[in-house]
Every structure is written in C-alpha cells, then in structure tokens.
Amino acid sequence: MLSLAFVFALGYQISKMYRTDTLAGGLISLASFIAVTPQVATLAEAGPEGADAVGWGFLNYSYLDARGLFTALLVGLISSIVYAKLMNRKITIKMPDSVPPAVSKAFASIIPGVIAIYLCGAAAWIVSELTGGLAIGDVILKYVQMPFMGLSQGLGAVLIIVLAVQLLWFFGLHGTNVLGAVIDGTYLTALTMNDSLFQAGKPMEYIWTRASFDSYVWMGGAGCSLALVIAVLVFSKRADSRAVCKMSAPMAVFNINEPVVFGMPIVLNPIYFIPWLLVPAVLTIVAYLVTAAGWVPYAHLVVPWVVPPVLYAFLATG
C-alpha cells in the first residue's frame, strides 16, 4: 500500500505549497491514482474442472506497492498541480455568504478536483488505446521506472546523488529534501523491491537502496557529521568549535546535523568544502564495493532516520 500513502502525501504537500486545501489536494491526488489503476481482475478458482471469474471493482495490489511509486509520483504531481492552479484561478463553485465555511470549502474543490481526476483518467485511457490495452502503470514501469532504476544502480549515479546532496547542504539547502523525489522515487523503490524479493525467498537485485545512504554515508546526518563531531572533540583545541560540537553531539547520534552545519559553520566555509565532499564520496565507494562483493547484505528494510548509526545498518540489512 506504499503507493497509496505516497500519492496522498505528495498531493497534500503540493497543495500546502500552493496554499490550497491540503486535505482535498491529498484526496484528489489519491483519487486520480486510483482512476488510472486497473480495476479489473481475473480470479482463478480451484476445482475439479477449474474456473476463471472476471470481476470489476478490484484494486490490484501489484500496482499499489513499490512498483507503482513512479506512477504515483507522476499522477500525484500532475493532478495536485492542476487542482491547485485551478483553485488559485478561482475556477470553483461559489456559494453564498450564508453557507457555512466548511460546506463552501468543500464545494469549491469540486470543479478543480473533477477536472484533475478526469484528466488523469483520460490520459490513462489514451495510453491504453495506443499500447494495445496496457495499463499506464505497466507502461511507466517498463519504459521509465525500470530503465531509470537500472541506471541508478551504477556507482557513478550513486556518487552523483551523494555529491549533489553535499553541494546543496554546503550552500545552506537541505539536500536530502531538495532531491527527495529522486532519492525516494528511485532508491526507496529499490529498497521495497529488495524486501519483496527477500520475503519471497529470492535473491535481492538492487545493490544500493534508500537505506544504504543512511547506513553507510550519512551517519550523523549529511556529510557523516558524527565523524566531524568526534574529530573536533578529540583533536581540536578551538574553544568555539568544541563548544558547538559538545552541544551537537547528542543530536548527531540521532542523525540531526543542523547545529553542526550552521553552527561551525560548514555552510559557505571553504575550509570544510573539500572534506565535506570527499568523506561521503569515499564512504560511498567503499560501501558500494563491499556490498557488491557480497561482504555485507543488501539493505532491504525501512528504518526510521533517527536510529543511531551502526544500529541503523544492522536493522536495515536484517
């Protein structure tokens, strides 16, 4: 059910960004995703002669797990942005002032919501007609998601993601959040697919998953900030740096590194620029190679990001 939760959260956050009704945005995004998901299923009945029953009104679970994340991402983006744009342009049902605000608010979302849902449904129907009956989720999985995930598993691609996150943090931007759609849409999907294979007793396919970043690279936060805190406390004689790291140490254990990033500061500090990029890159290379060699298990379990380093990797790899 991961895709359902993801598409609702995406619509909610986009509506929040556009200052429209967040709950309506999440529900419209969810409804749009359901509208493009095949709702016909064939049920095989076991019996002496065997029988197949075709029914309508089902939601195929295979479209709702990690395989549907890319579809959820695209549908959620399109539907929620269409809804928010129409709401901001006042293409709504306007109720008299005497109508209670809650009722007026609900009616205001009807026209934008219907347009967004029907737009996604029409796109899914067109794709199905052009591809001989394939669902839009199958088309995206085959021609977009799987090739993209294959590319993302190379060491070079992982390094690009890590370095991009580090650069964004250096300029004061939350790199993980800025690139969250790419990281979660690709590597979280890889993680859940690995777990599905593990549960089925099959070999896992994806070397690098979402949990790999936090297990091996971002220990204590981006840039392996916990290592910086320990190094300063052990070796540095600067009182100001030691004071910042003493205050930051308890939080760094739980992967919260903003006090270090903005307190040292690391942001726009040329002294820390090279190690800020180099240390995560080296950790990524080492972790990738030992995982590919089979020396450590593939990460396949979702772990809360506040779990301390070492324990995080232990839990993520099962």
Q: Can you read off the two tokens belonging to residue 222?
A: 């981006």
Q: Spell out the residues 6+ positions from residue 280 whose beta carbon is closer than 8 angstroms to its own.
A: 162, 163, 166, 217, 218, 222, 223, 224
For the chain, domain boundaries: 2-147, 153-316
> What element of type H or E holds 231?
helix 225-235
33 alpha-carbon distance from chain centroid: 16
If you average pLDDT over residues 266-290, what whole number do you get? 94
- Asked if residue 165 lies in contact with residue 261, where contact means CB atoms within 8 angstroms, the answer is no
Beta-ladder partners of 280: none
**pLDDT score at 278:** 94
Q: Cα-flanking dihedrals φ and ψ of residue 119, to 5°?
A: -60, -45
**pLDDT score at 196:** 85
- The pTM of the whole model exceeds 0.75: no
Q: How confident is the model at residue 6 (pLDDT cuts 50, 70, 90)?
A: confident
Q: Cα-flanking dihedrals φ and ψ of residue 52, to 5°?
A: -115, 135
Q: Which of 35-39, 59-63, 107-111, 243-247 is most confident?
A: 243-247
**pLDDT score at 217:** 94
Length of the chain: 318
Q: How confident is the model at residue 60 (pLDDT cuts 50, 70, 90)?
A: confident
**pLDDT score at 42:** 61
If you average pLDDT over residues 277-297, what whole number do you get? 95
**pLDDT score at 136:** 84
**pLDDT score at 54:** 58
Beta-ladder partners of 41: 55
Which has the minimum average pLDDT: 13-17, 121-125, 178-182, 207-211? Answer: 178-182
**pLDDT score at 133:** 81
Q: Kindly tell me if the per-residue pLDDT of 33 is higher than 60.
A: yes
Q: Spell out the residues 6+ positions from residue 154 whose beta carbon is closer than 8 angstroms to its own.
A: none
Mean pLDDT of the chain: 87
Q: Kindly tell me if the per-residue pLDDT of 267 is higher than 60.
A: yes
**pLDDT score at 52:** 54
Query: pLDDT digit string (tens) for 170-211?
Result: 999 988 888 887 888 789 888 988 988 898 899 999 999 999
Q: Where are the beta strands (DSSP E) in the chain?
A: 40-45, 51-56
More confident residue, 41 or 303: 303
